[in-house]
Amino acid sequence: MEFSAEQIAGILNGEIQGNPKVIVNDLSKIEEGRAGTLSFLSNPKYEEYIYQTEASICIVNKTFKPQKSIPSDLTLIKVDDAYACFGKLLELYNQMYQKETGIEEPSFISDEATIGENCHVGAFSYISKNAIIEDNVTIYPNTYIGENVTIKSGTKIYPNVTVYHDCKVGQNCIIHSGAVIGSDGFGFAPNEKGEFQKIPQIGNVLIEDNVEIGSNVSIDRATMGSTFIRKGVKIDNLCQIAHNVDVDENSAMAAQVGIAGSSKIGKNVLIGGQAGISGHLKIADQTKIVAQSGIPSTVKKAQTLMGTPGIPIDDFKKSYFGFRKLPYLLKKVQELEQRIESLTK
């Protein structure tokens, strides 16, 4: 599909500098720009590329003032926020490649399941009884939807996802390949012989609207009640969310984060990759946890934490500076011991 600079500027409410009739039919990074493509510049770090790019159109901030001559065949579209506007175009571009509606064969859909309008169900998918799939849902191949599951409108589920019985997924969510929603929580109790006895996990997982869940994420069902993933939460690949965890609105976590059972994560919390959070604690709204940190106790007020156990980041930096000097300090201690010994003799 082709778009002119004039059309793009109309979508973005931008100002054209150059040829309004120039046509593009693809997107490119500014450092890899080629004729017929649309690119953008928002980070000054990449400004040098705009003076040599072969892209036909480039979206820039209104504050952008070229320090050199830009290519004569490059048309600029000036907007308030180049990054946000390019993201809007990426979404439009992505919508061009949406799956067709309909049910592919072979697949199994229970007679007691409900499938809404304009849905797509990929081949080899299994939809159990009493499942409710609302309008405009896309389910890619090899997906399992358990009994009494609800998938609300506009949600997209990629291949090889498993949603266990009784779980609920909100509107406009994205669940990537390999994710498992509603597997049993890690509940075991040792008996008098020291053998582990499984505790039945009879709760579910409730995912609210506009949540995105990365590939190979596991979200355990609650022992009783629900594990909650609230509105707007973003979970990267390979994360583990244990039973009865509650992740509040608009929080985000990077890959390989692990959250132990019954912990409560506040609103707008940011968690770096490979961080671990112990069970039965609370993390205050707006808290930031640096990658590979360990949080063993409740965080009562918003702060940036780093290290294991996590401490305020400025304290961690001071401690680390001292840690780096340990070899020097140990050497000094040894020298002082030798001097004391010689003086004693």
Kindly list the catalytic residues.
243
Contact between 257 and 271 under an 8 Å Cβ cutoff? The reply is yes
First-to-last C-alpha distance (Å) of the chain: 91
Sheet containing strand 138-139, strands side by side: 102-103, 120-121, 138-139, 156-157, 174-175, 212-213, 234-235, 252-253, 270-271, 288-289, 304-306, 311-312
Q: Give the integer Cα–Cα distance in Å for 121 and 107.
A: 8
247, 230 Cβ separation under 8 angstroms: yes
How many CB atoms sit inside 10 A of residue 18's CB? 18
Helix 82-95, helix 5-12: angle, nearest 10: 110
Determine contact, residues 81/99, Cβ cutoff 8 Å.
no
Q: How crowded is residue 98: how many other Cβ atoms within 10 Å of its Cβ?
A: 11
Rg (CA), the chain: 27
CA 155/CA 332 separation, integer angstroms: 63
Q: What is the DSSP letter of 299?
A: B
| CA–CA dist 134, 114 (Å, integer) | 8
β-strand pairing of 23-24 with 3-4: antiparallel
